[in-house]
Structure 1
Protein backbone atom coordinates (compact mmCIF):
# COMPACT_ATOMS: atom_id res chain seq x y z
CA UNK A 1 0.00 0.00 0.00
CA UNK A 2 1.35 3.39 -0.98
CA UNK A 3 0.93 5.91 1.82
CA UNK A 4 0.80 9.55 0.75
CA UNK A 5 2.74 11.79 3.15
CA UNK A 6 2.36 15.55 3.24
CA UNK A 7 4.96 17.86 4.75
CA UNK A 8 3.38 20.78 6.59
CA UNK A 9 6.41 23.02 7.33
CA UNK A 10 4.24 25.77 8.82
CA UNK A 11 3.00 23.25 11.43
CA UNK A 12 6.35 21.43 11.66
CA UNK A 13 4.88 18.04 10.90
CA UNK A 14 4.54 15.29 8.36
CA UNK A 15 1.02 13.91 8.03
CA UNK A 16 -0.76 11.00 6.40
CA UNK A 17 -4.47 10.49 5.98
CA UNK A 18 -5.56 6.97 5.10
CA UNK A 19 -9.19 5.81 4.97
CA UNK A 20 -10.21 9.00 6.78
CA UNK A 21 -7.78 8.40 9.67
CA UNK A 22 -4.78 10.60 10.42
CA UNK A 23 -1.19 10.04 11.50
CA UNK A 24 1.51 12.61 12.17
CA UNK A 25 5.19 13.00 12.86
CA UNK A 26 5.82 16.30 14.66
CA UNK A 27 9.21 17.98 14.80
CA UNK A 28 10.96 21.12 15.92
CA UNK A 29 14.09 22.77 14.65
CA UNK A 30 16.10 23.78 17.71
CA UNK A 31 18.88 25.13 15.49
CA UNK A 32 19.21 25.85 11.77
CA UNK A 33 21.11 22.60 11.20
CA UNK A 34 19.16 20.24 13.52
CA UNK A 35 15.72 18.66 13.36
CA UNK A 36 14.22 17.03 16.45
CA UNK A 37 11.54 14.44 15.79
CA UNK A 38 9.50 14.99 18.93
CA UNK A 39 6.26 13.03 18.59
CA UNK A 40 4.61 10.39 16.42
CA UNK A 41 0.89 9.66 16.49
CA UNK A 42 -0.81 6.97 14.43
CA UNK A 43 -4.57 6.59 14.78
CA UNK A 44 -5.44 3.18 16.20
CA UNK A 45 -7.26 2.23 12.98
CA UNK A 46 -3.98 2.64 11.05
CA UNK A 47 -1.60 0.83 13.38
CA UNK A 48 0.17 -2.18 11.94
CA UNK A 49 -0.22 -0.91 8.37
CA UNK A 50 3.22 0.70 7.96
CA UNK A 51 2.00 4.28 8.36
CA UNK A 52 4.42 5.12 11.18
CA UNK A 53 7.29 3.67 9.17
CA UNK A 54 6.28 5.71 6.11
CA UNK A 55 6.23 8.88 8.23
CA UNK A 56 9.63 8.04 9.71
CA UNK A 57 11.20 7.39 6.32
CA UNK A 58 9.75 10.61 4.87
CA UNK A 59 10.96 12.69 7.82
CA UNK A 60 14.44 11.19 7.68
CA UNK A 61 14.61 11.63 3.90
CA UNK A 62 13.74 15.30 4.40
CA UNK A 63 16.49 15.67 7.03
CA UNK A 64 19.04 14.08 4.71
CA UNK A 65 17.95 16.19 1.72
CA UNK A 66 18.22 19.38 3.79
CA UNK A 67 21.56 18.40 5.38
CA UNK A 68 20.08 18.41 8.89
CA UNK A 69 21.41 16.53 11.91
CA UNK A 70 18.70 14.42 13.56
CA UNK A 71 17.65 14.31 17.18
CA UNK A 72 15.08 11.66 18.17
CA UNK A 73 13.19 12.80 21.27
CA UNK A 74 10.30 10.59 20.13
CA UNK A 75 10.65 6.99 21.36
CA UNK A 76 9.21 5.60 18.13
CA UNK A 77 11.74 7.52 16.02
CA UNK A 78 14.64 6.54 18.30
CA UNK A 79 13.67 2.87 17.97
CA UNK A 80 13.17 3.21 14.20
CA UNK A 81 16.64 4.68 13.68
CA UNK A 82 18.12 2.02 15.97
CA UNK A 83 16.56 -0.72 13.78
CA UNK A 84 17.66 0.92 10.51
CA UNK A 85 21.41 1.56 10.55
CA UNK A 86 21.25 3.38 7.20
CA UNK A 87 19.90 6.39 9.12
CA UNK A 88 22.45 6.39 11.96
CA UNK A 89 24.77 8.73 10.06
CA UNK A 90 22.12 11.45 10.34
CA UNK A 91 22.07 11.42 14.15
CA UNK A 92 23.32 14.44 16.02
CA UNK A 93 26.70 13.75 17.58
Structure 2
Protein backbone atom coordinates (compact mmCIF):
# COMPACT_ATOMS: atom_id res chain seq x y z
CA UNK A 1 0.00 0.00 0.00
CA UNK A 2 1.33 3.43 -0.94
CA UNK A 3 1.94 5.91 1.84
CA UNK A 4 -0.18 9.04 1.61
CA UNK A 5 1.52 12.03 0.06
CA UNK A 6 2.07 14.83 2.55
CA UNK A 7 2.16 18.22 0.87
CA UNK A 8 5.22 20.33 1.44
CA UNK A 9 4.71 22.63 4.36
CA UNK A 10 4.16 26.23 3.34
CA UNK A 11 7.23 28.41 3.33
CA UNK A 12 7.66 31.05 5.99
CA UNK A 13 8.01 34.34 4.11
CA UNK A 14 9.03 37.45 6.03
CA UNK A 15 9.90 41.01 5.02
CA UNK A 16 12.07 43.11 7.27
CA UNK A 17 13.90 46.38 7.16
CA UNK A 18 17.67 45.94 7.43
CA UNK A 19 18.73 49.57 7.98
CA UNK A 20 22.36 48.58 8.61
CA UNK A 21 22.42 47.40 4.97
CA UNK A 22 20.03 50.13 3.71
CA UNK A 23 17.57 47.64 2.31
CA UNK A 24 14.38 45.73 2.89
CA UNK A 25 14.88 41.97 2.71
CA UNK A 26 12.44 39.18 1.99
CA UNK A 27 13.33 35.80 3.44
CA UNK A 28 11.94 32.38 2.65
CA UNK A 29 12.41 29.92 5.49
CA UNK A 30 15.17 32.12 6.91
CA UNK A 31 17.11 32.54 3.65
CA UNK A 32 17.34 35.96 2.02
CA UNK A 33 15.54 35.55 -1.31
CA UNK A 34 15.54 39.18 -2.39
CA UNK A 35 15.97 42.79 -1.36
CA UNK A 36 15.14 46.36 -2.20
CA UNK A 37 17.92 48.87 -1.56
CA UNK A 38 17.17 52.39 -0.44
CA UNK A 39 18.70 55.63 0.73
CA UNK A 40 17.18 57.34 3.73
CA UNK A 41 16.72 61.07 3.77
CA UNK A 42 14.86 63.14 6.36
CA UNK A 43 11.18 62.46 5.69
CA UNK A 44 11.97 60.49 2.53
CA UNK A 45 12.98 57.05 1.29
CA UNK A 46 14.65 56.68 -2.10
CA UNK A 47 14.35 53.19 -3.60
CA UNK A 48 17.33 52.51 -5.85
CA UNK A 49 17.43 48.80 -6.71
CA UNK A 50 15.34 45.65 -6.23
CA UNK A 51 16.22 42.08 -7.01
CA UNK A 52 15.05 38.56 -6.23
CA UNK A 53 17.40 35.60 -6.44
CA UNK A 54 16.78 33.58 -9.60
CA UNK A 55 15.92 30.49 -7.53
CA UNK A 56 12.96 32.36 -6.00
CA UNK A 57 11.61 34.20 -9.04
CA UNK A 58 8.06 33.67 -10.23
CA UNK A 59 6.59 33.42 -6.74
CA UNK A 60 5.43 37.02 -6.34
CA UNK A 61 8.14 37.80 -3.80
CA UNK A 62 9.21 41.10 -5.35
CA UNK A 63 5.65 42.42 -5.20
CA UNK A 64 5.27 41.26 -1.63
CA UNK A 65 8.58 42.91 -0.73
CA UNK A 66 7.70 46.25 -2.30
CA UNK A 67 4.18 46.27 -0.86
CA UNK A 68 5.61 45.78 2.65
CA UNK A 69 8.26 48.48 2.11
CA UNK A 70 5.69 50.98 0.82
CA UNK A 71 3.28 50.15 3.63
CA UNK A 72 6.06 50.91 6.11
CA UNK A 73 6.84 54.18 4.33
CA UNK A 74 3.17 55.10 4.66
CA UNK A 75 3.11 54.26 8.38
CA UNK A 76 6.19 56.45 8.90
CA UNK A 77 4.79 59.28 6.73
CA UNK A 78 7.76 59.10 4.37
CA UNK A 79 7.76 60.53 0.87
CA UNK A 80 8.84 57.92 -1.68
CA UNK A 81 11.24 58.52 -4.55
CA UNK A 82 11.07 55.43 -6.81
CA UNK A 83 14.34 55.50 -8.75
CA UNK A 84 14.22 51.71 -8.98
CA UNK A 85 12.30 50.74 -12.14
CA UNK A 86 10.57 47.83 -10.38
CA UNK A 87 9.29 50.04 -7.56
CA UNK A 88 8.08 52.63 -10.09
CA UNK A 89 6.30 49.92 -12.09
CA UNK A 90 4.75 48.45 -8.94
CA UNK A 91 3.32 51.86 -8.02
CA UNK A 92 2.09 52.31 -11.60
CA UNK A 93 0.20 48.99 -11.29
CA UNK A 94 -1.04 49.84 -7.75
CA UNK A 95 -2.09 53.50 -7.88
CA UNK A 96 -3.20 53.41 -4.24
CA UNK A 97 0.50 54.05 -3.49
CA UNK A 98 0.81 57.02 -5.86
CA UNK A 99 0.11 59.51 -3.07
CA UNK A 100 3.42 58.49 -1.44
CA UNK A 101 5.50 59.51 -4.47
CA UNK A 102 7.23 62.89 -4.46
CA UNK A 103 5.89 65.50 -6.88
CA UNK A 104 8.98 65.39 -9.09
CA UNK A 105 8.43 61.69 -9.89
CA UNK A 106 4.64 61.36 -9.67
CA UNK A 107 3.99 62.13 -13.35
CA UNK A 108 6.59 59.54 -14.42
CA UNK A 109 4.99 56.88 -12.25
CA UNK A 110 1.35 57.64 -12.98
CA UNK A 111 1.98 56.54 -16.56
TM-score, scaled to structure 2: 0.76
Q: CA RMSD in A?
A: 1.5
Counterpart of 2:23 in structure 1 is 13
Q: Which has the larger radius of gyration?
A: 2
Please report how far the alpha carbon of residue 49 of structure 1 lies from its aligned counterpart in structure 2 after TM superposition: 0.2
Q: Give 5+ residue unaligned stretches, structure 2.
A: 1-9, 104-111
Are 2:53 and 1:55 equivalent residues in the alignment?
no
Segments ≥4 residues shifted beyond 3 Å: none
Residues 20-31 of structure 1: matches in 2 within 5 Å?
20=31, 22-29=33-40, 31=41
Higher RCO (Cα < 8 Å, 6 or more apart): 1
TM-score by length of 1: 0.90
76, 84, 87: which is aligned to 1:77?
87
Instruction: State the secondary structure of the residue aligned to 1:49.
Output: coil
Judging by fraction of residues, say which structure has more strand.
1
- Three-state SS of the structure 2 residue aligned to 1:56 is helix
Give the number of aligned pairs. 92
